[in-house]
Chain A
């Protein structure tokens, strides 16, 4: 509960802005997914952050009627989902605690007294019991110990590794029949958005978990430039922004001369961190630190590709020139008080690589402090000025929602997710928000989605909202009815941010949410354009094999240490070959064999 008070303090002075509370998740949350060592820059994880981040609604838009009303007269599965238990049912959960991202969550609210716990009990007769609560960064340790002691919570959000491990030991309940009974479009949008995604949670035809994913496009990375700062080195229009690595290097050299450097943010999460990392440079060389791509029917691991030497030696060259802080590898971009983030906010960098949400945070903070800052998205870098091939995950699975073997009411998980969805949808529209009494507001702000063992994020919502809202904008609409809204619960937040930006174009925060999600040539727009224009190579592997469970961790560490060591010039670039040998010998070959076996039999 420690840090909540900081925000309390911060928020006390705050005028309530709906956007802030609703979208808070999107910018801030990635910060917490980087916990500890767990989120070492794995490419596979790269898409995780925004997924968890958004407290959203089910998607799949247009046609369906407004969910709020649909409850009462719902048919079939919907009716079942809303049916309360006759006798109270206890559902044991565990919590990797993070503070509420909503600054208006009352101080005295704890997970046990939050709105979800209260209403689940009142409306569905489900009593949520927190067996233990631990700060997010200690979760994996605590879970490891509890798992060793044979305790599995009733409903739990699992990493792919833990999911595989527990499922193979018979620790999870087969959800197949419940899934069939309780399936409905709203829920499908979350864990089966394309009609295939649910299969990721199946093993031998049995469904052991509901996959939580993101739009595969979210693993793209882009270049943000502050035109205001670049003015001083002679760049006055976006056309002059570098397209090739060579041009980019020239720009950096010029900046180096002017400022003395460093000119690029960098951190130990060198790849896939989504902010201040080297991902766009890897991409420029069509190189990837991880991922399994299909090479004539055989899966190969991108992290050991000979080609990576090129980008590593280039990065080493840049390191020697002083583009990055000399001890960049000591800093975690996701740590609190991260100096990297502080520097970005302070305006020390005119160039910031990052994901679509970067304007939402931390560039928005930068703009608040330096209103003159003028951030734009530049062209994706490449060697020849053309859009390079990109690699994206076939199915970016971040987590699985699973049900522990001792759970007496496995269907409760569906009821809970559905309830959260309905609750959020019902209360999100601006009219509803505006009409809330103080008491209802308190209740709304005491609903803290990070305290629940599941998420209700629809992977397609970003693109959908971008398209829908821009359409409405073109039509000049400033008011829409509930029926006109797509049914994903990020929608109302995005809509509000659109209105908010139209009203306060000079406000840094309003700019951040707008520019990241909705602006033409903004974060999401560029993300969509990138995946639509580029040739795509898929990272085919979305399962966890037995060798991955035991060896992936050490292998990733080996790779990260080697890469960083090469970038820092401690290891000559030829050390890469040694690394490849080691990687293969230490279990990489085993994993390759297993994923290929799986791939052939898929």
Chain B
């Protein structure tokens, strides 16, 4: 009888009406602010004229796509996007990995905690503010050049207009800004490594370095893999806000990305249809990458994001 009672109670678990109610606000917000604007994607297949509207603008099929593929600035932005995003993804895991391994070796816990806290700080600053600082630091007469000149006797470098260096600055500053997050994540994973494994290694006479190599790294490898694959899904998001506030026409050759190009064309250049086509193309490519990477995750480590 007690058994029956329990079953009955447990049934309430399966009552889902409340769950639907809970989801309602999110469903509405998503519909209004994410799905409604998607109708605008029609533009990509039109020669959209605002005053004619969606209904009267001429339908041109895939002409806009054909047009953007002939644009050198599009090809350039596409390549740049890949390069920048690729390095950002790799480095934003590699740098925190090294940092967390180093932090793990630190004995004084106050130091460990402080560093962990401090490296997280830049994560919280908006690019609007950081850009101002960075542009000043890397100016021709900025601090970096001063240091290079007085300590290393290197001729000042025009970083801000240099197609050789500016991309590196973009990548490095982004990695720097975000490194705190993954450091915390990876350090937590390292701390969770079973102490018995280290014990066993020590018994075998493994040096600290060997322990890192044979115990720590393998233990957190799955996590590193997950982070990497997750990052790959965003390979076409190379950092719109950052680049928008930092770049200048001279370095467009190396740092112009799809998002900034779409912005320039669509909003400032009033070429709504071409910009929409670019945006749609980007979505499509991203979707493929996300699909592949999530599938790999699921197959290899049974990890499901959703």
Closest to A143 in B: B270
Contacts A37-B268, A144-B267, A586-B72: A171 and B51 contacting too (C-beta < 8 A)? yes
A169 touches B49 (CB 8 A): yes
Which chain A residues border B252 with CB–CB below 8 Å? Answer: 557, 561
Tell me which of A549, A550, A582 contacts B72 (CB under 8 A): A582
- Range of interface residues on A (Cβ < 8 Å): 35 or more
B161 touches A561 (CB 8 A): no
| Residues of chain B from 260 to 281 with CB closer than 8 A to chain A in the complex | 264, 266-272, 274
| Residues of chain B from 101 to 123 with CB closer than 8 A to chain A in the complex | none
B71 touches A144 (CB 8 A): no
A564 touches B267 (CB 8 A): no
Which chain A residues border B267 with CB–CB below 8 Å? Answer: 140-141, 144-145
For residue A546, give the distance in angstroms from its CB to the closest CB of chain B.
11
Which chain A residues border B286 with CB–CB below 8 Å? Answer: none
For residue B185, give the distance in angstroms from its CB to the closest CB of chain A.
36
For residue B80, give the distance in angstroms from its CB to the closest CB of chain A.
14
Report the stretch among A147-155, A390-398, A467-475 that lies at the interface.
A147-155
Closest to A172 in B: B51
- A17 and B253 CA atoms in complex are apart in Å by 49
| Residues of chain B from 38 to 60 with CB closer than 8 A to chain A in the complex | 48-53
Tell me which of A171, A560, A568 contacts B249 (CB under 8 A): A560
- A325 and B49 CA atoms in complex are apart in Å by 44
In the complex, whether B156 has a CB less than 8 A from a CB of chain A is yes
- A162 and B49 CA atoms in complex are apart in Å by 12
Which chain B residues border A169 with CB–CB below 8 Å? Answer: 49-52
- A152 and B51 CA atoms in complex are apart in Å by 9
B274 touches A550 (CB 8 A): yes
- A327 and B274 CA atoms in complex are apart in Å by 33
Closest to B252 in A: A561
B161 touches A327 (CB 8 A): yes
B268 touches A330 (CB 8 A): no
Which chain A residues border B52 with CB–CB below 8 Å? Answer: 169
Contacts A169-B49, A170-B51, A570-B163: A327 and B158 contacting too (C-beta < 8 A)? yes
A557 touches B161 (CB 8 A): no
Which chain B residues border A170 with CB–CB below 8 Å? Answer: 51
For residue A209, give the distance in angstroms from its CB to the closest CB of chain B.
16
Closest to A38 in B: B268
Encode contact with B along A554-565: 1 for CB under 8 Å, 0 otherwise.
100110110011
Which chain A residues border B73 with CB–CB below 8 Å? Answer: 554, 557-558
- A247 and B70 CA atoms in complex are apart in Å by 46
Closest to A151 in B: B50
Residue count of chain B within 8 Å CB distance of chain A: 33
| Residues of chain B from 71 to 90 with CB closer than 8 A to chain A in the complex | 71-73
In the complex, whether B283 has a CB less than 8 A from a CB of chain A is no
A37 touches B274 (CB 8 A): no
Encode contact with B along A328-353: 1 for CB under 8 Å, 0 otherwise.
11100000000000000000000000
Which chain B residues border A37 with CB–CB below 8 Å? Answer: 249, 264, 268
Residue in B48, B51, B266 whose Cβ sees the most chain A Cβ within 10 Å: B51
- A472 and B141 CA atoms in complex are apart in Å by 50
| Residues of chain A from 540 to 577 with CB closer than 8 A to chain B in the complex | 549-550, 553-554, 557-558, 560-561, 564-565, 568, 570
Which chain A residues border B161 with CB–CB below 8 Å? Answer: 327-330, 568
B266 touches A144 (CB 8 A): yes
In the complex, whether B181 has a CB less than 8 A from a CB of chain A is no
In the complex, whether A482 has a CB less than 8 A from a CB of chain B is no
In the complex, whether A326 has a CB less than 8 A from a CB of chain B is yes
| Residues of chain B from 13 to 39 with CB closer than 8 A to chain A in the complex | none
Which chain B residues border A570 with CB–CB below 8 Å? Answer: 163
In the complex, whether A165 has a CB less than 8 A from a CB of chain B is yes
A326 touches B71 (CB 8 A): no
In the complex, whether A166 has a CB less than 8 A from a CB of chain B is yes
Residue in B156, B160, B268, B272 whose Cβ sees the most chain A Cβ within 10 Å: B268
A147 touches B270 (CB 8 A): yes
In the complex, whether B289 has a CB less than 8 A from a CB of chain A is no
Closest to B40 in A: A148
Contacts A570-B163, A586-B71, A586-B72: A148 and B272 contacting too (C-beta < 8 A)? yes
- A326 and B158 CA atoms in complex are apart in Å by 6
- A561 and B72 CA atoms in complex are apart in Å by 13
Tell me which of A161, A171, A326, A329 contacts B250 (CB under 8 A): A329
In the complex, whether A268 has a CB less than 8 A from a CB of chain B is yes
Tell me which of A40, A150, A268, A549 contacts B50 (CB under 8 A): A150
A149 touches B253 (CB 8 A): no
Tell me which of A166, A327, A557, A586 contacts B140 (CB under 8 A): A327
A144 touches B268 (CB 8 A): yes
Contacts A144-B266, A326-B156, A330-B140: A564 and B250 contacting too (C-beta < 8 A)? yes
- A585 and B124 CA atoms in complex are apart in Å by 45
Which chain B residues border A166 with CB–CB below 8 Å? Answer: 51
Contacts A162-B270, A330-B158: A554 and B71 contacting too (C-beta < 8 A)? yes
| Residues of chain A from 298 to 340 with CB closer than 8 A to chain B in the complex | 325-330
| Residues of chain A from 395 to 418 with CB closer than 8 A to chain B in the complex | 405
B51 touches A150 (CB 8 A): yes
For residue A64, give the distance in angstroms from its CB to the closest CB of chain B.
41
Which chain B residues border A327 with CB–CB below 8 Å? Answer: 139-140, 158-162
- A568 and B251 CA atoms in complex are apart in Å by 13
Closest to A169 in B: B51
Contacts A140-B268, A141-B268: A330 and B248 contacting too (C-beta < 8 A)? yes
Closest to A140 in B: B268
B51 touches A330 (CB 8 A): no
- A165 and B218 CA atoms in complex are apart in Å by 61
For residue B253, give the distance in angstroms from its CB to the closest CB of chain A.
6
- A37 and B52 CA atoms in complex are apart in Å by 29
- A564 and B51 CA atoms in complex are apart in Å by 38
Which chain B residues border A329 with CB–CB below 8 Å? Answer: 158, 161, 248, 250
- A144 and B276 CA atoms in complex are apart in Å by 14
Closest to B269 in A: A553
- A557 and B274 CA atoms in complex are apart in Å by 17
| Residues of chain A from 515 to 537 with CB closer than 8 A to chain B in the complex | none
Closest to B43 in A: A148
A150 touches B268 (CB 8 A): no
For residue A129, give the distance in angstroms from its CB to the closest CB of chain B.
21
B50 touches A149 (CB 8 A): yes
- A565 and B51 CA atoms in complex are apart in Å by 40
Closest to A149 in B: B50
- A161 and B269 CA atoms in complex are apart in Å by 9
A330 touches B160 (CB 8 A): yes
Which chain A residues border B159 with CB–CB below 8 Å? Answer: 327
Which chain B residues border A145 with CB–CB below 8 Å? Answer: 267
- A493 and B156 CA atoms in complex are apart in Å by 46
Question: Can you name 16 extra interface pairs (CB under 8 A) apart from A144-B270, A553-B264?
Answer: A37-B268, A40-B249, A140-B267, A141-B267, A165-B270, A326-B140, A327-B161, A328-B161, A330-B139, A330-B160, A330-B161, A330-B250, A405-B51, A557-B249, A565-B250, A586-B72
Q: 6 tightest CB-CB pairs across the interface, nearest first?
A: A327-B158, A330-B160, A169-B51, A327-B140, A329-B161, A329-B250
Interface residues of A (CB under 8 A from B): 37-38, 40, 140-141, 144-145, 147-150, 152, 161-162, 165-166, 169-171, 268, 325-330, 405, 549-550, 553-554, 557-558, 560-561, 564-565, 568, 570, 582, 586
**Can you list 10 A-B pairs, Cβ within 8 angstroms, ordered by A?**
A37-B264, A148-B48, A149-B50, A169-B50, A327-B139, A327-B158, A329-B248, A330-B250, A568-B161, A586-B71
